[in-house]
Structure 1
């Protein structure tokens, strides 16, 4: 099983996760990292809440956008920052400000400090924040020295388990005497590598919010932290606060959520274990290489408009992935169809009222799945990247021009077809989220990893790490 992390911008990065089929080089790299498995030492655990009395006890319903994620893996992001000082310096100079700004940020993003409440069936689950009771768990840890920061942030192949020590584990759910299950929604961990760097790890339940909301949360926290509450100019650059008001007015077309709730109740919540026999590596494609590929696809394509960087790079990566996966498996059926699942952000594209679109600052999930399908003979043919590019362009154009709410009842059927196929591939992250803009006063991240691609065949996308030329 392979996974890619592919930042899109002036340069592209691919992260491969190999299972049971690593090359000699990758196996050697995996063996080199086997010693780097000792977990960091926990220095403290803190429960961070919004400032007391600033957020009233609140409940929020789950929408039909949230329901599909109820029984799916966590969303896991890691941000690595260079930091040359000692642990004591970090605890004295940096950590208090991180905590204070996180508390203020949670005033606006309070569901991240809340819980998912699961009453006995048939009452539907919902989100709750209770003032004075709910909080977000923040873990502060120090590397024991066996896991080298430079190895963790490097692009070279590494055993996936080296990242598990810096990825926080979500606390277990609590069951009340009345049989009500209460699950935390997020946990965070800051790991210090003395004299080298820090890692900020995030583990969250995806049913609370999607990547757009997570990026919004991180940028709000980042801006407050960087300003230290003293720089009016920096504070003025704060993103707009999230919008929770339209959640009650998002209508479910065709009882979409009902089917997801039935599966959730019947399956119950379960963890999603991954194979330990994996390594991951990051690869880079230059701007020149991308432009050459775009030029070739545009010349060959029947579409009049130039192909986008997102489409051509995703097409190239998907083709490369499928070719590698089927290597040695024989010719097989030329009419076999491979499926790629992409997500379209529905903010500003769907209306929750007669005239009001769902705002860009909406807190929650607001993405529609789209399945791109290409026959094996085309995906592996002489014009493989062109076939994938044309299919991607057509699917995106169709989704953006259609009434997405009317198509929502059929989303589940498409996702089931995708899931039952051989080598189903999906997308994690997106270039527009600008994950490499996260500067907490320590400079921008030297590496960002999306860890949850370990649990499924994902291609994770982000913008260029160096920021040159921006996103195309």
Structure 2
């Protein structure tokens, strides 16, 4: 396995962690859905959390994290499996599924680094050294889950802090599953932090916990085996994408500035109407208009804003929030740059350009109904295809993923609050925006990736900067 070894990061040990208990359902093949399979050629999800270093001995903390991880995997056992491909020539058959029957386990890496949390989060741009805190090397794709673990954890001790990073195979899990796992792991760790570190019997899951739904959901008369029109993975795996040099910045939006944005996007809307523009839609509309200006997009050029959207609540009956797997699609809104930037007299916009763009985004979200979801699933099954990183976007497109609704700062492993959230190299390109929960209640953080000259222009865009706030200082002290 290839691990990162940059920036003074030294790997102390690597180990394999298996579920404390492997449930009976793990013996059944887990077939991948039309939401899972298109992601075989994209990157692992990579997110991590900074904490102030606990005062307890280092090895005690590492042992405790391993034990609580093993307990967490009892519920999230599919993350301990591997991908398997079955194929034959006559009749032609090629399908990929998830095998959890022998629980090969997840990888746990313990490392130390010679820098501080401030060396990362105090800088304007995210420094390249951050990537050394994440396992895997650039170019790793989800299909590599045939041989690589589906979940790789790297715990790195910094000079005065600790960074817990997880890389999760995106063909097996989406952002909701990712943070469900992180939340449960931190909860189990926090609950048992006072027990003897090496006694596995203390690490138990409460029977009152809502069950994790590990059985994949399919349309009626669809699946569970979906035959792909390929004879070899080289026909759909693409590792050739190379992003131009990017600047990556975290921008913070306070609850007050978001309130102002939403009010401007809903100037004539009564409260609680079905079509009210949400706070997040108003924020992303601001980003869309500001980035379009920053990119100096020709006024007659079509621009597009894409949003990753959760389908769980759109199905009837709704899927559980604890459904383990991918359950997202992309919705998009498009318009010419003149309309987006407010330089057109034909868009009917009498307030702000961001307000007009927000209406487009709101319409795209409202039209994403269960019927649309079902149509997409049927269409993909008839003509399967696989996403290629960076191939469905260009310099006129903005792609937004993640969610401010995911619980990030609440992940207390037993020694204090989260200091900051950061991400790895996965699935990044010009125009990629990732949404995060902000530290203060009601705030939102956005990670924006742009080519250098466009980022510089965005930083001086008056309409954009007026809403950007300074994040609250962590003020965290260890509790152990």
- Report TM bin, short chain: 0.7 to 0.9
Tell me, in whole angstroms, the C-alpha distance in 1 between the residues paired with 2:414 and 2:407. 17
**Displacement, 1:64?**
0.9
Q: Whole-Å Cα distance in 2 between the matches of residues 340 and 54 of structure 1?
A: 42
Change (3 A) 1:456 1:200: farther
Corresponding residue of 1:9: none
1:428 is paired with a residue of what secondary structure? strand
**One of 19, 27, 30 as aligned partner of 1:60:** 30
1: CA distance, partners of 2:244 / 2:391 = 25
Describe the shift of the 1:117–1:155 C-alpha distance in structure 2 as closer, same or farther (beyond 3 A). same
Tell me, what secondary structure is at the counterpart of 2:418? coil
**Structure 1 residue 128 and structure 2 residue 94: aligned?**
no
Change (3 A) 1:292 1:466: closer
For 1:172 and 1:295, how far apart are their aligned partners in 2? Answer: 43
Determine whether 1:287 maps to 2:260. no
1:442 maps to which of 410, 415, 429:
415
Name the counterpart of 1:186.
151
Deviation at 1:75, TM superposition (A): 1.2
Provide the residue aligned with 1:22 in structure 2: none
Q: Could you tell me whether the CA contact under 8 Å between 1:57 and 1:130 is conserved in 2?
A: yes
1:378: how far off?
0.8
- Matched ranges for 1:321-400 at <5 A: 321-326=291-296, 332=298, 334-351=299-316, 356-381=317-342, 383-400=352-369
Going from structure 1 to structure 2, the CA distance change for 1:106 and 1:457 (only over 3 Å counts) comes to: same
- Residues 125 and 253 of structure 1: CA distance in aligned 2, closer, same or farther (over 3 Å): closer
Which residue number corresponds to residue 458 of structure 2?
none
Does the CA-based 8 Å contact 2:219-2:374 persist in structure 1? no
- Give the paired residue count: 410
Normalised to the residue count of structure 2, the TM-score between the two structures is 0.75
The secondary structure found in structure 2 opposite 1:107 is: helix
Return the offset for 1:370.
1.0
Match among 208, 214, 223 for residue 244 of structure 1: 214
Deviation at 1:385, TM superposition (A): 0.3
CA displacement at 1:338 relative to structure 2: 1.2
Q: CA RMSD in A?
A: 3.7
Q: Residues 251-290 of structure 1: CA distance to partner in whole angstroms, max 9, x if unpaired?
A: 476999667x649845343446655833322222232222
SS in 2 for 1:284: strand
SS at structure 1 position matched to 2:94? coil
1:169 equivalent in structure 2? 136
Please list, as runs of the form range in 1=range in 2, the aligned pairs for 1:50-449 lying within 5 A after superposition: 50-51=19-20, 54=23, 56-83=26-53, 85=55, 89-92=57-60, 94-120=61-87, 122-131=93-102, 134-143=104-113, 145=114, 147-154=115-122, 156-159=124-127, 161-169=128-136, 182-194=147-159, 196-228=160-192, 239-245=209-215, 247=216, 249-251=218-220, 262=230, 265=233, 267-271=235-239, 274-275=242-243, 277-299=245-267, 306-326=276-296, 332=298, 334-351=299-316, 356-381=317-342, 383-400=352-369, 402-409=371-378, 419=392, 422-449=395-422
Q: CA deviation at 1:37?
A: 5.1
After TM superposition, give the deviation of residue 344 of structure 1 in Å. Answer: 2.3
* TM-score, normalised with respect to structure 1: 0.76
* SS at 2:312 equivalent: coil
Higher helix share: 1
In 2 relative to 1, CA 252–54 (structure 1 residues): closer, same or farther, beyond 3 Å? closer
What's the counterpart of residue 432 of structure 2?
458
The answer on whether the counterparts of 1:340 and 1:425 sit within 8 Å (CA) in structure 2 is: yes
Q: 1:264 to 1:224 in 2, by over 3 A?
A: farther
Cα separation, 2, equivalents of 1:75 and 1:99 = 21
Aligned-partner Cα distance in 2 for 1:398–1:405: 13
Distance 2:53 2:130 in 1: 18
CA distance in 2, matches of 1:68, 1:115: 17
SS at match of 2:295: helix
CA shift digits 1:376-423 (9 cap, x unpaired): 11111153202210001111111147452134456799x999926543
Distance in 2 of aligned mates of 1:116 and 1:52: 21
| Distance apart, 1:210 and its partner CA | 0.5
Report how far residue 90 of structure 1 moved.
2.1
Answer whether contact 2:310 2:327 (CA < 8 A) is retained: yes
Structure 1 residue 461 displacement after superposition: 0.7
Deviation readout 1:87-132 (Å, 9 max, x if unpaired):
xx1222x12111111001111111111111123463301101133x
| Separation of aligned partners in 2, 1:391 and 1:106 | 41
Unmatched 5+ stretches in structure 2:
196-201, 344-351, 446-480
1:116–1:126: 8 Å Cα contact kept in structure 2? yes
Comparing 76-85 with 102-111, which one deviates more in the overlay?
76-85
